[in-house]
Structure 1
Amino acid sequence: MRVIIAGCGRVGSSLAARLATEDHDVRLVDLDADSCRRLPANFAGQFHQGNGFSRTVLAAAGIEHADAFVAVTSGDNSNIVSARTAKETYRVPVVLARIYDPRRADIYRELGIPTIASIRWTVNQIHQMLLHRHLTPELAFGNGETVLVRSQIPAYLVGRRLSEFDVDGEIRVVEVTRGGRSLVPSHGTSAEPGDLLTFSVAATALNRLRDFLDKELGT
């Protein structure tokens, strides 16, 4: 997976180092050339000096072939501009943005960009969100212990009751979007072709949900 990270501070450099050790293709962008000193000496990724929303810099970092973009600079304005550029101009499949002012969360949400609170979230949570690529994070609660994620219904699940997907205390189907309309499933609601499911998931159970869907999807 190619990941471009805008911001080489403590979060950006730590995330980049972790992803690089997992053999992901990591490209870092930061306005401060000296920020690359935070990276380990054996860092296998690339570092590009410049703004995270500069098309010239992003092109040099290979954004046209990026699978994910993470904006974790020290400023909300820079993060939202760079995240919007990645999402709207380059159509990067997964875009995440760090947020300092929670009052701006609605702006990101309206743009369809999941946010990471600078204090409450850690590199581990960002790492999880990047790797759950077929699940779209919608909202986080508390300190990120519970999240809402969405997934298109795989063909093999059509006809099965949605209550069968629940795991007590970990995973629950809380909403279904069907034919452009939303409904709260009852115990007897069955999956239909084209359903988009919303799961309420304990953050510690994201791997369980991902492994279940990946296994059945044959990936």
Structure 2
Amino acid sequence: MKVIVVGCGRVGSSLAGLLAAEGHDVQVVDRRAKAARRLPDRPRIRFHEGNGYSRAVLTATGIEHADAFVTVTSRDNSNIVSARTAKETYRVPVVLARLYDPRRADLYRELGIPTISSVGWTVHQIHQMLLHRHLRPELKFGNGETLLVRSEVPDYLIGRRLAEFDVDGEIRVVEVTRAGRSRIPAHGTPANAGDLVTFAVAATALGRLRGFLDKELGT
């Protein structure tokens, strides 16, 4: 995945390092040249000096081929302009923005741009949203350690007991919507075609849940 990260403070540099360590190509933009000192020495990270909404800078990052764009500067106005440019001008598939002023949340929502606001779990949450887009949290508890996520059951898992998804302390099926009606499944309730299942899942177990949904259990 090719990701552009605008803002090379603690959050941006940490996120860039995490993504690069996982093998993703990361282009980092910051208006301060000295911010590059925060970045780890990894061949998959490239630094660009300038503003995240500058057409020249964005062209240099190769934004036309970007899979995701994340803006985490310390200024809401810059984040809004950068995110809108990436989404509306360059049609980047995934655009995320850091938000400081909660009064601006409605503006981001109207633009269809997901926002992250809590400093304590910003890096982890952005990372999860990039890599687990089809498991978008419905609710978050505490500082984001536990999530409620919903997903349709893949065809190859139809007929398996929903309880087979449970992993002690990490994942639990808490609800299933079937034919428009919600129910709490019993231990032996099987998965039917078209079921929409709600999972309570530890944030650190999203990858494991994705594995359950992407391949046959037990393989």
Q: How far apart are the structure 2 equivalents of 1:49 and 1:41?
A: 17
TM-aligned CA deviation for residue 121 of structure 1: 1.2
TM-aligned CA deviation for residue 103 of structure 1: 3.6
**What's 1:205 paired with?**
205
My pick for the range that moved more, 16-25 or 6-15, is 16-25
**What's 1:26 paired with?**
26
Q: Secondary structure of 2:215's partner? A: helix
What are structure 1's unaligned runs of at least 5 residues? none
| Alpha carbons of structure 1 residues 175 and 2: separation in structure 2 relative to 1, 3 Å | farther
Q: After the TM superposition, which residues 144-163 of structure 1 pair with which residues of structure 2 at under 5 Å, given as runs?
A: 144-158=144-158, 162=162
Q: How far apart are the structure 1 equivalents of 2:62 and 2:196?
A: 32
Report the AA paired with residue 213 of structure 1: L
Q: How far apart are the structure 2 equivalents of 1:177 and 1:86?
A: 36
TM-score, normalised relative to structure 2: 0.77
The answer on whether the counterparts of 1:114 and 1:137 sit within 8 Å (CA) in structure 2 is: no
Query: Does the alignment pair 1:104 with 2:104?
Result: yes
TM-aligned CA deviation for residue 209 of structure 1: 0.6
**What's 1:127 paired with?**
127
Deviations 1:149-192 (A, max 9, x none): 3444422234556565455654345677789x6x5344258543
Q: How far apart are the structure 1 equivalents of 2:74 and 2:124?
A: 19
* RMSD between aligned residues: 3.2
**What's 1:184 paired with?**
182
TM-score, normalised relative to structure 1: 0.77
| Alpha carbons of structure 1 residues 83 and 146: separation in structure 2 relative to 1, 3 Å | farther
Q: How far apart are the structure 2 equivalents of 1:94 and 1:206?
A: 18
Q: How far apart are the structure 1 equivalents of 2:177 and 2:52?
A: 35
TM-aligned CA deviation for residue 129 of structure 1: 2.9
